[in-house]
Structure 1
Amino acid sequence: MSLPTPTLALAAVACLASGFAWAGPQLNSTYQGDAFGPIELRSDGEHLTGIAPAGGPCQRPVAEQILTGDFQGNVFLGEITLCQTGDTCTPSRSFPLMLVYNVEERALAGVVKLEGGCESPALPKNSMLVLRATDQGAALTPAAAPAPEQRQAQAPTPPPPSGGAAQVAAQRRLEPLDVAATLKQGQSLLAQNPFAASQQFQLVLAQEKEKNNAWALTGMGVSHYLRKQHAEALKYLEQARNLGSGAARAEAFFWTACVKRAAQESGFAQIALRRALAEGWSPPEGNALVERELQQFANEGTLYEAQVKQARGRKRVQGRESQGAGSASP
């Protein structure tokens, strides 16, 4: 079978970064990965969801939706929920995901970035997720989770044959991305469309040199918070606090306080808000999203009165640093 050149697949990523949109592929069938097992994919326009059956390598008690996101051309940006193994690893969590769809192979491929030092029984050692249509030779039965001693005895799962456009595009570094402009786009989308905003932050985090970008991690946290996914929001904000410094670290503390307030954990919210102010946080001018959060704090009465007064008495200096989640002018 002749395959499209890697350049064509990479062009999909380049077009995505430039804002050019193609109609996404329509996937309405069962796809399967070697270790991953089957997943039922359903398209609705450019939106794609995936439901995995009970059992499988992650031993799901029931069938559940584990994949959601949107196509922009042949590039899928979304989230996937996977199990992890490791002493300090979260047993199950959602990860940002970018996949490239190869039309001729009818396959989706991309790398899932797990937590540091973690593995997933649903992925090979290289964390490359490759999903192929079942009529391309994949079985319909869920992959059973091997016992630990069996996993140790098994040879590492080899990656898919090299040369496939989807794999090459997913394994190679993305074309250079205007990080500042992409962050600005994500931040401007947060208040109106948190999911679309998260896709912009994922583009930044998918860059090898930007995988620890604290502003993008905070943006991911805020997008989850605005979708009322507090546990996921706190995971991203924790990463941002640990990896960021200066204004980025202060921003992560502020949004941590917002999540904790919404979760009615006022003690933790007060600590996080005080820490944000101690780190130098100040509200960006004209940011309606931040102002809404400050008003929520103010509505609590005297509980956050001193911190809100202190924050509103500051004026953020315009400079090169991002102006915060929800701002249209980083």
Structure 2
Amino acid sequence: MQKTPLSLRVGYFLPYAMSDSNTTYFTNPSTFILLGIPGLEAAHIWISIPFCAVYTIAVLGNFTILFIVKREPSLHVPMFYFLCMLAISDLVMSTSTVPKMLSIFWFNSREISFNACLTQMYFVHCFSVMESGILVAMAFDRYMAICNPLRYSMTLTNSVVAKIGLAVVLRSGMLTLPYPLLVRQWPYCRTNIIPNFFCGHIDVVKLACADIRISSYYGLFDLLSVIGMDVFFIAVSYIQILRAIFRLPTKDARLKTFGTCISHLCAISVLYIPDVFSSLVQRFGHNVPLHFLILITSVYQLMPPMIHPVIYGVRTKQIRNSLLQLFTHKGA
């Protein structure tokens, strides 16, 4: 579920004032308290119903993608390997936070240990970056398939796909590692209450009694290096793809070729458009109620894991046919 908008990692570019001298400091508190959605506590049970439904669809959909690709040898090609990486990323992303969120909504289980909070923070941010990297890899796959079809099988071998996947994992892991390391070094005071239902980086560092500008600056670096670089490479790939498509002789050929990119373009839209919207609201919506900001964040985090398998299940002929064969076979 919880994919923290990359903008939330940046935080507020203002130093946090040290508290007064009689404030009690406690470094690395043993637990944090997650409030859920402040202001909507009475509606937590009702809010949990659509959240639980979306999570269930996300888990079933992504496991179905993994099962179909593993079961069907004809799908053992780079495009579907990348799709499996995306499905795994979505599963880990949503599972990192939804169970805890539901325990808050259903059982009022608000406590989370300091180490568990840091672990959750790491997984949320790490797999958010990883998902963006996977979309870049999928854009490269579409570029090779359309612009260099004769070299496609020679370039995107299983070994190359594995190396790309490893590079995506290493990049996300290394870029995210400073978040929990920075959080661990700050002294905390006054409160250990987090007004959210998961441990986002900026939500935690705002509780620190220190000048946390280094966390804010690193968040800005992460934002620019991930979103900026990934969107740039995706845009370059699609510029080349569109140039190749427009050189095709007939309208039908152009439409058919462009149709192979629709699923990927939808996946990109589902990830980046809500992120941009959430970023704008966080940055300029100073009078927006806190519970509305958290709901926007949760929708942004919940939707991609649910929509991605639906997009590829409906738009990808090979997966659709494999599903039909599976159910037809069982029905027979």
Q: For the superposition of Structure 1 and Structure 2, which TM-score range results when normalised by the shorter chain?
A: under 0.3
TM score, norm. by length of structure 2: 0.25
TM score, norm. by length of structure 1: 0.25
Q: Which has the higher contact order (CA 8 A, sep 6+)?
A: 2
Looking at secondary structure, tell me which structure has more strand per residue: 1
Looking at secondary structure, tell me which structure has more helix per residue: 2
